[in-house]
Chain A
């Protein structure tokens, strides 16, 4: 089998808090994502999902462990290698509004993401319109500032920006949690279509088990900074082995 797109090995991260206390957010976490695969990460609030995503995108460095992306060791990479990695790996943040520069219109922000892969302003602008259309936003949203759009609209703009450079890996941190069910369905459809066309891989962080069950091939269950269970999603949903996973499944509210 070919080398995985993303290979996280034995990652540990401790935060130092005021008063000298230490808090272990991740403890010996390993995870892989193969070409074209969609991998889910589920777990309760505060279990370390976003910290893991921040380590993979190298926004923060782990205390120990390795993160290999397309053959490059990210914890040690610098300069050109890191820039290349950043082009091939994109992330949709949990709070989309704070990931946009409030002084720029959404159109300008998305166009900035296009610059490395596309020349010509006119072409870029046409592509911005196309991307907005793809996520179900009308062209007028290109002129809107982040604070002038609704939560769900902002999240969709963040998705448009993330897919602009056709990354090989897209990390979605609760990318659909601010969306109502119908728009959520649109976005999932969209992500599925992109995957079919480009063979992109996803690391899909979500607390929505229904969504994970329909979208992810394999799933990791995180609890208190550790991977407590992993396997094919259908199997985890059907026959959870860990008490914690069972608890997650049993508290799904239904009508």
Chain B
């Protein structure tokens, strides 16, 4: 059965203005309604950049190759008006720092009203406030009225993070991009947010793409997992395959580094991220336990393991599975 495609990212290569080398290389992804994709990978590997590229906020990143299309239409062919419609209604985004999505000195209820009104002229103040209160309650705020009357500057980090998620949800986007939505939250609230995102998916078939370094969240939420390293997706596949039969050596190292409650100090991944990622060959090779000389030059192409599970590492197919 051919499924409807919401967002298609095709062989995207992206650089920041003034940077010598691209930050993302050949990133390809397809998102379907009702599907949850989690993106994991080391700090600085380009996860947030991928969101910036998808949102195409002017002046942020430069797409040098490839394209992003929403419901079959290339974003570059859209008019300013269409792009404005798209951001918020089509694609909602919660940025990594809640501060970036919120105005620090504007009351929360005003921010909800303005965001909702920008997308539908008919929204009344009262309706906006009721919807906001309901969403905030589902975000584990027992007293939404207090939050609605406050400014972000009067709320804690985790509170603002939840407000930002509720604000993005209020517009009922087809796609919700969340960059580390639970990083500032304790586990009880985290679990609640995870349930809420799952409910959103079940009720509205919202497609969710989630950047997180919390493997518990990945395991609870993801349908698909994309593992990034050095600006590339190095492994992609259904959650169970990637988490339980990781094929790329980086994914394996990452999964082994997960801290546990046993009081042992967390183990890192040996070696350090190189300053610049090589233009050719595998970026992880210098830290990889099973690297061989040809890893530095081999072509970066997908090796299929099972149906939808692939990796860039040619060794991953033979090892470990």
Contacts and interface: CB of A to CB of B under 8 A. Distances in A.
B83 interface: no
B187 A254 contact: no
Contacts of A237: 261, 263
Nearest to B158: A45
A188 B184 CA distance: 18
Contact of B96 (A138, A178, A214): A178
Contact of B268 (A174, A178, A189, A253): A189
A111 B124 CA distance: 51
Given A45-B159, A180-B213, A182-B269, A153 B44 contact: yes
Given A46-B156, A50-B157, A152 B43 contact: yes
B266 A185 contact: yes
A151 B217 contact: no
A233 B263 CA distance: 9
Contacts of A150: 43-44, 48
Contact of B99 (A98, A138, A208, A247): A98
Contact of A182 (B96, B184, B253): B253
A186 B263 contact: no
A26 B147 CA distance: 18
Contacts of B189: 44-45
Given A19-B149, A188-B266, A211-B266, A253 B186 contact: no
B94 to A, nearest CB: 13
A181 B259 contact: yes
Interface residues of A, number: 61
A248 interface: yes
Given A138-B275, A150-B44, A151-B96, A181 B263 contact: no
Nearest to A149: B44
Nearest to A255: B219
A15 interface: yes
Interface string A159-176: 000000000000000100
B57 interface: no
Main secondary structure of the interface of B (DSSP, over half): loop
B216 A207 contact: no
Contact of B97 (A21, A97, A136, A180): A97
A251 B41 CA distance: 24
Interface string B214-252: 111111100000000000000000000001000000000
Contacts of B265: 185, 188-189, 192, 214-215
B261 A209 contact: yes
Given A152-B43, A186-B268, A181 B213 contact: yes
Q: Kindly state the interface size class of chain B when it binds its partner.
A: 35 or more
B259 to A, nearest CB: 4
A140 B275 CA distance: 9
A209 B262 CA distance: 10
A30 interface: no
A214 B259 contact: yes
Interface string A242-255: 00000111011111
Given A247-B188, A253-B190, A178 B183 contact: yes
Contacts of B255: 255
A114 interface: no
Contacts of B98: 95
Nearest to A186: B268
Given A210-B260, A213-B261, A248-B188, A153 B162 contact: no
B63 interface: no
Contacts of B215: 181, 254-255
A179 B264 CA distance: 18
Nearest to A249: B261
A107 interface: no
A237 B264 CA distance: 13
B254 A181 contact: yes
B217 A153 contact: no
A18 B187 contact: no
A179 B162 CA distance: 19
A108 interface: no
B187 A251 contact: yes
A72 interface: no
A98 B153 CA distance: 12
Given A95-B98, A180-B42, 12 more contacts: A46-B155, A46-B156, A136-B272, A153-B44, A180-B41, A180-B43, A182-B257, A210-B261, A213-B261, A215-B265, A248-B186, A254-B260
* CB-based closest 5 A-B pairs: A253-B216, A152-B43, A45-B158, A185-B268, A207-B186
24 contacts: A17-B146, A17-B149, A17-B150, A150-B48, A151-B48, A151-B180, A178-B96, A180-B213, A181-B258, A181-B266, A182-B253, A182-B254, A185-B265, A185-B269, A188-B266, A207-B186, A207-B190, A211-B259, A213-B263, A214-B266, A237-B261, A252-B216, A252-B261, A253-B217
